[in-house]
């Protein structure tokens, strides 16, 4: 990738990015671009804008339309939920998972129903905004059911007698619960992804590589914490063994004899367990700092 990052770009080339104009992915998409150091011109109530410091043109679209725009090369790349991408079944390739907009597409039935497995759905009416993904799930489980496609408020369908079950996006499950439903089967785990047109020019592929490099650096930073602590020299070996860091921890002598300052990086997932072990081994003055960018 390093050779591609340094290669000369076509004069005047701009990468065209489609993102959701409103809704759950819109703010996170804009924030990611800003975290990548990309300055956007006024984005409020706009259908199109440009970046001031990166060759990037941004289209604000309905999320359902983004896969089609990317397939047709109206946009070169897009930020879109996997649920939308796979439902629309367009010819666009996933380049990177973005780590936000996480949800799942699940089957929900009435809380009083005795649901054991997918065979329960045989002969039932299922309301959904995702008929393609639902039909794929039914086919894989040899289930014959009647699909009612509706565009919104899917969770109320069983309560008003429109359907026996639903297939809908779930985050916390509270919406299902409030409508007397329970989650049973998960059809798809979804998050926002970066997709690309399959026929990008070489110049635009180079631009995409530059953008990907920034995105990956921001993602790595969010998964890690920078840790500084004071350690007694007689426990340094034990403390260092807990802090592998990116290569190895940095150790600097303190003015106080017999003590050193140790600097390292800890994975977010291991953070609390490691902190407890550090304290148990005599570490003091532990300072934890968020990382803005992380280049390996």
pLDDT digits (tens, 9 = 90+) for 142-193: 999 999 999 888 999 999 999 999 999 998 889 999 999 999 999 999 999 9
* DSSP strand pairing (146-149 vs 125-128): parallel
Residue 119 lies in a domain: yes
Give which of 92, 85, 57 is closest to 200, Cα–Cα: 92
Residue 296 lies in a domain: no
Alpha-carbon dihedral sign for residues 120, 125, 155, 113: negative
Question: What pLDDT does 5 receive?
Answer: 43
Helix (H) or strand (E) holding 184, with range, is strand 181-190
18 and 85 together in one domain: yes
Residue 296's pLDDT band (cuts 50, 70, 90):
confident
Tens-place pLDDT, residues 207-245: 999 999 999 999 999 888 899 999 999 999 999 988 866
Q: By three-state DSSP, how is residue 61 classified?
A: strand
| Mean pLDDT value across residues 79-101 | 96
Question: What pLDDT does 246 receive?
Answer: 62
Residue 29, pLDDT > 70, answer yes
Domain boundary among 221, 243, 267: 221
Residue 10, pLDDT > 90, answer no
Supply the CATH number for residue 28's domain: 3.40.190.10
Burial 104-134 (b: 16+ CB within 10 A, else e): bbbbbbeeebebeebebbeebbbbbbbeebb
93 and 196 together in one domain: yes
Distance CA 220, CA 228 (A): 19
Domain boundary among 138, 168, 189: 189
257 and 129 together in one domain: no
114 and 175 together in one domain: yes
209 and 245 together in one domain: no
Burial grade of 296 (CB within 10 A; 0-12, 13-18, 19 or more): exposed
Q: How many CB atoms lie within 10 A of CB 269?
A: 9
Residue 84 lies in a domain: yes
Residue 295 lies in a domain: no
216 and 280 together in one domain: no
Residue 11's pLDDT band (cuts 50, 70, 90):
low
Boundaries of domain holding 253: 224-290
Residue 32 lies in a domain: yes
Cα 142–Cα 168–Cα 47 angle in degrees, nearest 5: 125
Residue 3's pLDDT band (cuts 50, 70, 90):
very low
Give which of 94, 76, 99, 77 is closest to 25, Cα–Cα: 99
182 and 202 together in one domain: no
Question: What pLDDT does 6 receive?
Answer: 44
Supply the CATH number for residue 239's domain: 3.30.70.120
54 and 195 together in one domain: yes
Distance CA 46, CA 19 (A): 12
Domain boundary among 201, 221, 241: 221
Alpha-carbon dihedral sign for residues 243, 249, 250, 255: positive
More confident of the two residues 135 and 4: 135
Burial grade of 74 (CB within 10 A; 0-12, 13-18, 19 or more): middle
Residue 64, pLDDT > 70, answer yes
Question: What pLDDT does 244 receive?
Answer: 67
Tens-place pLDDT, residues 238-277: 999 888 666 778 999 999 999 999 999 988 888 888 889 9
Q: What's the domain count of the chain?
A: 3
| Mean pLDDT value across residues 61-86 | 96
181 and 207 together in one domain: no
Could you tell me the two tokens for 284? 């003091």
Distance CA 23, CA 26 (A): 6
11 and 59 together in one domain: yes
Tens-place pLDDT, residues 51-60: 999 999 999 9
């Amino acid at each position: 990738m390093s050779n591609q990052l340094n290669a000369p770009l076509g004069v005047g080339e701009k990468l065209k990015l489609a993102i959701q104009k409103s809704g759950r992915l819109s703010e996170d998409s804009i924030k990611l671009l800003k975290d990548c150091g990309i300055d956007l011109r006024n984005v409020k109530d706009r259908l199109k804008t440009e970046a001031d410091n990166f060759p990037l043109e941004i289209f604000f679209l309905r999320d359902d339309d983004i896969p089609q725009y990317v397939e047709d090369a109206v946009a070169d790349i897009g930020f879109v939920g996997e649920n939308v991408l796979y439902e629309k079944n367009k010819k666009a390739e996933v380049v990177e998972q973005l780590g936000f907009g996480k949800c799942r597409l699940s089957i929900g039935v009435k809380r009083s129903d005795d649901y054991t497995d997918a065979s329960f759905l045989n002969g039932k009416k299922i309301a959904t905004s995702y008929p393609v993904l639902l039909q794929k799930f039914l086919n894989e489980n040899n289930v014959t059911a009647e699909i009612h496609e509706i565009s919104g408020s899917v969770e109320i369908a069983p309560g008003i007698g429109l359907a026996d079950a639903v297939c809908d996006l779930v985050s916390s499950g509270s919406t299902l619960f409030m409508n007397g439903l329970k989650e049973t089967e998960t059809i798809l785990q979804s998050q926002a992804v970066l997709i690309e047109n399959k026929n990008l020019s070489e110049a635009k592929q180079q631009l995409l590589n530059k953008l990907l490099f920034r995105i990956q650096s921001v993602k790595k930073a969010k998964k890690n914490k920078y840790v500084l602590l004071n350690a007694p020299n007689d426990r340094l070996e034990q403390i260092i063994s807990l802090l592998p860091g990116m290569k190895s921890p940095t150790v600097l002598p303190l003015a106080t004899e017999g003590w050193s300052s140790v600097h390292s990086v800890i994975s977010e997932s291991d953070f609390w367990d490691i902190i407890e072990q550090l304290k148990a081994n005599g570490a003091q003055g532990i300072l934890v700092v968020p990382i803005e960018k992380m280049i390996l």
